[in-house]
Amino acid sequence: MKLDTDAKIVWCPGCGNYSILKAFKNAVGELPQTVKPEKMVVVSGVGCHGKIANYINLSSFHGIHGRVPSLMAGIKLANAELTVVGFSGDGDTFNEGLVHLMHAAKKNINATLIVHNNKVYGLTTGQASATSPRGFRGKSTPEGNPEDPFNTVALMLVAGATFVARAFPGDIKHLTEIIKQAIMHKGFSFIDVLQPCVTFNNTWDYYRKSVYKIEETPSTLDEAIKLAYSSTPTKIPIGIFYKKDKQTFEELVRVEETGIGVEKVLELME
C-alpha cells in the first residue's frame, strides 16, 4: 500500500521528524499481514509533529493540543479492531496533556504512542517544555531553564504503561524495529523519540555521541526504573525498557464480551 500523500512536507530541512515518518512507514510495510493498513488509524496532536497525519496515507485524526492519548482511547473503545498509533509532541504530551497521557497508560489502552520529544515547543518557536534540560536557553527561558526535566520513561513506567521504549531517529532501523514491536504489543505502548529540532534545539551531534543500545530488556519494573534513572547527559539508553502482558481496558469493559453497559464505561473513564 502506498503510504505517501501529495501533501507538501513543511518541516525544516534536517528536522528529526522526517526520520520518524520514514521509520513509521517502514514499520507499517514490515508488519505481519494480520495488521491491515485499512484498519489502522493515525492520531496526531498540535505542534510541528502534528502535521505527520497529513503525510501518511492512512485514516487519521488531527486532534487538539494534548489530547492524543484520549483520542486514541476513544477510538479503541468505539472499535477495538482498529490499530491505533498516536504521534504527539513533548509540550503536547508532558505539558498540556500530561493527565491524559497518565490515564491512557494506567488504563492500558491497547494503542501505541510515539512522542516526538525534541525538548522544545517547536511550532510556537522555541519555548521550554517539561522535557527541556535545566539550563536550556529558549524564548521563554532566555536566562536558562531553572527546572529539571521529567524523566519521561520513568513517568510512563510508574503510570502503568506495559511497553516502554526510547529511540533515536539517527538510527532509523532501530526505530523501525521498536515501532513494529510497540504496535504488535497488546496494551499501552509508549515510545519516547529523541527528535532533534534543527531550528530550536539541534541535538543531532549530541545524541549521536551519547546514546547507547540497551542489551537486554529488564525483566522487572524495579530494574526498568533503575535503568530509566541510570541515564546521564553523556550516556542515554535507547531500546525497550519494559514489556509486560496485562489485560487491556477494552478487554475489561467491552460491552459485547462483558455485558457491561456504556454507563459503566463512562464511569470508568472519569
List contacts with ligand SF4 (CB under 6 A). 11-12, 15, 17, 48, 118, 122, 197-200
Whichever of 49 and 185 has its CB closer to ligand TPP, that residue is 49
Q: Which x/- pattern, by CB under 6 A, does the window 128-167 give for ligand TPP?
A: -x--------------------------------------
**CA Rg, the chain, in Å?**
18
Out of 118, 132, 176, 181, the only residue in the binding site for Mg ion (CB under 5 A) is: 118
Using CA of residue 151, residue 152, residue 153, residue 158, what is the dihedral sign?
Answer: positive
Q: Which x/- pattern, by CB under 6 A, does the window 41-60 give for ligand TPP?
A: -----xxxx-----------
Q: Which x/- pattern, by CB under 6 A, does the window 85-114 give for ligand TPP?
A: ----xxxx---x------------------
Residues 232 and 149: their CA atoms lie apart, in Å, by 12
Whichever of 170 and 218 has its CB closer to ligand TPP, that residue is 170
Q: Which does 11 bind (CB under 5 to 8 A by kind): Mg ion, ligand TPP, ligand SF4, none?
A: ligand SF4
Site membership for ligand TPP, residue 192 (CB under 6 A): no
Question: HSE (CB half, 13 Å, CA atoms) of 219?
Answer: 0
Q: Which does 55 bind (CB under 5 to 8 A by kind): Mg ion, ligand TPP, ligand SF4, none?
A: none
Least spacing, CB of residue 118 vs ligand TPP, in Å = 5
On whether the CB atoms of residues 115 and 190 are closer than 8 A, the answer is yes
Whichever of 12 and 255 has its CB closer to ligand TPP, that residue is 12
Site membership for ligand TPP, residue 26 (CB under 6 A): no
Site stretch for ligand TPP (CB under 6 A), options 20-28, 79-87, 115-123, 256-264: 115-123
Residues 76 and 250: their CA atoms lie apart, in Å, by 7
Q: How many residues bind ligand TPP (CB under 6 A)?
A: 18
Using CA of residue 262, residue 263, residue 267, residue 270, what is the dihedral sign?
Answer: positive
Question: HSE (CB half, 13 Å, CA atoms) of 21?
Answer: 23
Cell 492519548 sits on residue: 69
Q: CA 177 from chain center: how many Å?
A: 14
Give the list of residues 6+ apart from residue 74 with CB closer than 8 angstroms, or none. none
CA distances from 88 to 3, 35, 38 (A): 19, 22, 22
Cell (9 digits) for 89: 509532541
| Cα angle, residue 169 at apex, residues 168 and 174 outer, rounded to 5° | 70
Out of 63, 122, 138, 170, the only residue in the binding site for ligand TPP (CB under 6 A) is: 122
Site membership for ligand TPP, residue 194 (CB under 6 A): no
- Give residues in contact with Mg ion (CB under 5 A): 89-90, 118, 122
